[in-house]
Structure 1
Amino acid sequence: MATAKTKQKILKTFLKLLETHPYDEVSLPLLAEEAKVKLSDMRSAYASKLKLVAAFYEQIDTSVLEERDEDMGDQPARDRLFDVLMTRIDTLAECKETVRALRAAAQKDPALALDFNAIEVRSQKWMLIAAGIDVSGVKATVVSQGLSIAFGRVLDVWLDEADEGMPRTMAKLDKELDKGTSFMKRLKGVESAAKRMRSFLKKAAQGRNHRRRRGDETDDDSADFADEAPAGA
């Protein structure tokens, strides 16, 4: 069983290799060799490269959650989310070339992009939680998916921006969150319409059941009357 120290060493080596190698060239045997661990330890620690990517995202998530600004609690939800996502970008700064390699790999391989997307959506759910935005169920998945796509667009700008002040990145994030705010309003409208429709259908179904029961009672009474009628009437 790989120790926590061994797992951390493997992950660190993986991220380092991605700074100079394309994702598809970083094989597990190469990683084990560079990290100076046995393949058995490699297997015990991370069964696939996708597990390593998930561990990387989890590491970033944890850092953002630890660094979130508690004083933002009384600010509008949009501002809180902006702050959380900028904290995420700041945290990613040390791994910029790794992020570039992962983005490039996803663009080349649609199947891999779907795998990465699932990991990203899970991370963005935590970013919403960090921002104090309460969503759950199907809505949480829809919103997290939208946020994942938006954040990916922001990352593309960030990867090409040399200015440490990140004016273009912040402007892009502002724009994407504006789109997201509009989307959330539409989503709320759809939810309200869906609730009204469900209420209407429920009432309609109750009305049908009530009429059916009334009809059954009438049929029973008619049968009774028929039984009581004189023969040949």
Structure 2
Amino acid sequence: MDNEASTPQGTPVIAAAKPATGPKIPPREAAVEALMRLAAEQPWNDIEIGDIAREAGLSLAEFRDLFPSKGAVLGGLARMLDRKVLDGDTTDLAEEPTRERLFDVLMRRLDAMAPYKTALRRIAYALRGDPLSMLALNGVALNSHRFMLAAAGINTEGPLGRLKLQGVVIAFARTVETWLDDEDPALARTMARLDKEIRNGERLMERAEDARRLTAPLRAIGRSLLDRRPRRSSATRDETDGDPAAVI
């Protein structure tokens, strides 16, 4: 038999089977998955970069080439989630109202987050009292949700684009707070919260659009006055440019 060997005494022995090995995932993804496994089992503040590297099967040098810090690995997770949502087919949403398109895209993001729910819950609680980390994560979220809005066919350019984008980031963060504690497989509470947040955002944008229309004449006058102000000579520009304090 192929899987048998004989001892010197002639007694057959079953040879040990080789362990099955699955496909090797890319190092960046391996580091993200390693952090999520660790964060699901131990406090966030106890996890060191060396722990992540070992869990991912990477050397510290390899890890350093991928990420500069533990927090940056969370940014890697955000990009992985972006990709999972963006790889999905959203052509069936083309004829839906804007609210429905955004709702569907954000629910798809929550679906992509589901395998990491335990880890994300523990991380969220750990970072809740860390304003610097929350500010950094807001920047990551802005980049991610720019693509989520694009997937929903919603423009983020123009004077109100930044407001629209930040509004969606806040709405989704509030929804995630509900999602982290929602154990219902149907996610009824989460969906209700997301619908509420999107409707609140719509009302905010309507008020912002109204305010922008009302202030349009004032902004036109301001631009006109700026266009009429005397231009500095090139000599004056040479003396002051490069040092903001020189104009005082």
Q: TM-score range by the shorter chain?
A: 0.7 to 0.9
| Partner residue of 1:22 out of 43, 61, 64 | 43
8 Å contact from structure 1 (residues 106, 113) kept in 2? yes
Contact 2:53 2:60 (C-alpha < 8 Å) held by counterparts = yes
Matches within 5 A, 1:57-206: 57-137=78-158, 139-202=160-223
Task: Tell me the CA shift for residue 204 of structure 1.
Answer: 6.5
The superposition leaves residues 191-211 of structure 1 with CA deviations (integer Å, 9 ceiling, x where unpaired) of 2233332223445778x89xx
1:85-135, CA deviations, whole angstroms, 9 ceiling, x for partnerless residues? Answer: 111111111111122123113202111111111111111111111100012
CA distance 1:141–1:22, shift in 2 (3 Å): farther
What TM-score results when the alignment is normalised by the length of structure 1?
0.81
2:34 to 13, 22, 28: 13
Figure out how many residues of one structure are paired with residues of the other and give that number: 206
- Structure 1 unaligned runs (5+)? 210-233
TM-align CA RMSD: 2.1
Q: Which of these two proteins has the greater Rg computed from alpha carbons? A: 1
- Residue-by-residue CA offset, 1:52-77 (whole Å, 9 max, x unaligned): 11110010011111114211111111
Identify, as 1 or 2, the structure richer in helix.
1
Q: CA deviation at 1:6?
A: 2.3
Pair 1:25–1:130, CA change in 2 (3 A):
same
1:126-169 Cα offsets, whole Å, 9 max, x none, are 11111000121553322221111111111111111111111111
SS of alignment partner, residue 94 of structure 2: helix
Point out 4+ residue stretches in structure 1 off by more than 4 angstroms.
202-206
What are the ranges of 5 or more consecutive residues in structure 2 without an aligned counterpart? 1-23, 230-248
Deviations 1:183-227 (A, max 9, x none): 110111122233332223445778x89xxxxxxxxxxxxxxxxxx
